[in-house]
Amino acid sequence: MANSQVSSQANNEQLKSSLEYQKQLNSVYRDIHEADRFEDVLPRLEKGLLSLVRAERLTVYRRARNGREIVSRYKTGVEVNEIRLPLTPTSIASFVALSQLPLRIDNVYDTEDLAFLHPKLKFDHSYDQRTGFRTRSMMVVPIKFNNTMLGVLQVMNRVGELTFTELDLMHAQEVAQIIGQKFQYDLQATRGPFDYLLHRNVITPEKLKEAESRAAKENISVAYYLLKEFRLTPEEIGESLEHYYQIPFFKYDPDIELPGELLKKLNTTYLKAHCWVPIAGDQDKATILIDNPNDSNRIMEIQQGLNVRSYEFRVGLVEDILRYLGEGIESISESRNVVNLDDLVGRLRDEATFEEDDEDSETMSSVSENEATVVQLVNRLILDASKYNASDIHIEPGKGKENANVRMRIDGVCRQILRIPSSHIRAVIARIKIMSRLDIAERRKPQDGKIATMYKGKPIELRVATLPTVNGESAVLRVLSSGDALPFDKLNLSERNEKAVLELTSKPHGIFLVVGPTGSGKTTTLHAILGHINSADRKIWTAEDPVEITQPGLQQVQVNPKIGFDFATALRAFLRADPDVILIGEMRDQETSHIGVEASLTGHLVFSTLHTNSAPETITRLLDLGLDSLSFADALLGILAQRLLLTLCSNCKQPYTPSDHEYEQLAKAYGEEYFSELGTTKADLKLYKAVGCDECGGSGYKGRTGIHELLVSSPEMRSMIAKNGSVAEVRNLAIQEGMRGLMQDGIEKVLRGQADFIHLRRVTAG
Q: What is the mean pLDDT of residues 573-579?
A: 90
Give Cα 224 distance to the centre of its chain: 27
State the pLDDT at residue 327: 64
Q: What's the chain's average pLDDT? A: 83
Taking residue 159's Cβ as centre, other Cβ atoms within 10 Å add up to 12
Find the largest Cα–Cα distance for the chain.
Answer: 96
Residue 302, in any domain of the structure: yes
Residue 482 has pLDDT above 70, yes or no: no
Residue 65 makes CB contacts below 8 A (sequence gap 6+) with: 187, 242, 246, 247, 248
Task: State the residue range of the domain holding 138.
Answer: 2-186
The more confident residue out of 604 and 17 is 604
Q: Which residues of 14-52 are buried (b: 16+ CB within 10 A; e: fewer)?
A: eeeeeeebeeebeebbeebeebeebbebbeebeeebbeb
d(CA 108, CA 99): 18
Q: What's the CATH code of the domain at 387? A: 3.30.450.90
Taking residue 414's Cβ as centre, other Cβ atoms within 10 Å add up to 13
State the pLDDT at residue 75: 46
Q: DSSP H helical segments within 230-340, as ranges? A: 234-245, 260-263, 268-274, 296-306, 318-324
Could you say which of 141, 171, 186 is where a domain stops?
186
d(CA 257, CA 649): 53
506 and 629 together in one domain: yes
DSSP assignment letter at 220: S
Residue 79, in any domain of the structure: yes
Helix (H, G, I), strand (E, B) or coil at 614: coil
- β-partners of residue 641 are 515, 709
Helix (H, G, I), strand (E, B) or coil at 148: strand
656 and 748 together in one domain: yes
Which one-letter amino acid corresponds to residue 263? L
Task: Specify which of 20-24, 73-77, 169-173 reaches the highest per-range mean pLDDT.
Answer: 169-173
Residue 621 has pLDDT above 70, yes or no: yes
The more confident residue out of 162 and 332 is 162
313 and 346 together in one domain: no
Which one-letter amino acid corresponds to residue 668? K
State the pLDDT at residue 516: 92
Residue 741, in any domain of the structure: yes
State the pLDDT at residue 737: 93
SS3 content of the chain, % helix, strand, coil (to 5): 45, 25, 35
Q: Which of 174, 176, 180 is nearest to 22 (CA)?
A: 174
Q: What is the mean pLDDT of residues 661-690?
A: 86
Q: Which helix (H) or strand (E) element contains residue 667?
A: helix 660-670
468 and 357 together in one domain: yes
505 and 595 together in one domain: yes
State the pLDDT at residue 334: 37
How many independent structural domains does the chain possess?
4
Q: What is the mean pLDDT of residues 331-350?
A: 48
**What does R_g of the chain's alpha carbons equal in angstroms?**
29
- pLDDT band for position 185 (cuts 50, 70, 90): confident
- pLDDT band for position 496 (cuts 50, 70, 90): very high
- The pLDDT tens digits of the residues spanning 713-760 come to 999 999 999 999 899 999 999 999 999 999 999 999 999 999 998 889
437 and 567 together in one domain: no
- The pLDDT tens digits of the residues spanning 555-573 come to 999 888 878 888 888 998 9
434 and 315 together in one domain: no
State the pLDDT at residue 77: 44
Percent of the chain with pLDDT over 70: 89
Flag the least confident range among 18-22, 99-103, 480-484, 660-664.
480-484
- pLDDT band for position 370 (cuts 50, 70, 90): low
Residue 540 has pLDDT above 70, yes or no: yes
Would you tell me the crossing angle of helices 615-624 and 727-736 to the nearest 10 degrees? 140
Upstream peptide bond of 546 is cis (omega within 30 degrees of 0): yes
20 and 146 together in one domain: yes
Report in angstroms the alpha-carbon separations of 148 from 181, 244, 281: 11, 7, 25
Q: What's the CATH code of the domain at 538? A: 3.40.50.300
Taking residue 553's Cβ as centre, other Cβ atoms within 10 Å add up to 12
State the pLDDT at residue 581: 94
d(CA 597, CA 592): 9
Q: Which helix (H) or strand (E) element contains residue 592?
A: helix 590-601
State the pLDDT at residue 454: 63
511 and 551 together in one domain: yes
Q: What is the mean pLDDT of residues 85-95?
A: 87
Q: Which helix (H) or strand (E) element contains residue 346?
A: helix 341-357
d(CA 573, CA 557): 11
Residue 324, in any domain of the structure: yes
State the pLDDT at residue 331: 31
- The pLDDT tens digits of the residues spanning 450-478 come to 887 766 556 678 889 999 999 999 999 99
Q: What's the CATH code of the domain at 139? A: 3.30.450.40
d(CA 544, CA 5): 35
Residue 228, in any domain of the structure: no
Sheet holding 148-158, edge to edge: 79-86, 69-76, 55-63, 148-158, 138-145, 103-105
Could you say which of 312, 332, 352 is where a domain stops?
332
Decide: 667 and 744 in contact? Cβ < 8 Å. Answer: no
Residue 112 makes CB contacts below 8 A (sequence gap 6+) with: none
DSSP assignment letter at 375: H
DSSP assignment letter at 558: E
State the pLDDT at residue 372: 67
Residue 457, in any domain of the structure: yes
DSSP assignment letter at 397: P
State the pLDDT at residue 374: 80
Report in angstroms the alpha-carbon separations of 527 from 14, 486, 490, 609: 32, 7, 12, 12
State the pLDDT at residue 483: 62
Q: Which residues of 319-332 are buried (b: 16+ CB within 10 A; e: fewer)?
A: bbbbbbbeeebeeb
- β-partners of residue 608 are 513, 584
- The pLDDT tens digits of the residues spanning 736-748 come to 999 999 999 999 9
Residue 320, in any domain of the structure: yes
Could you say which of 161, 186, 211 is where a domain stops?
186
Residue 500, in any domain of the structure: yes
Decide: 286 and 306 in contact? Cβ < 8 Å. Answer: yes
**Pseudo-torsion of CA 95, 101, 107, 113, nearest 10°?**
-80
Q: What's the CATH code of the domain at 290? A: 3.30.300.160
96 and 131 together in one domain: yes
175 and 280 together in one domain: no
Q: What is the mean pLDDT of residues 538-556?
A: 87
500 and 564 together in one domain: yes
Number of residues in the chain = 766
Q: DSSP H helical segments within 334-463, as ranges? A: 341-357, 372-387, 425-435
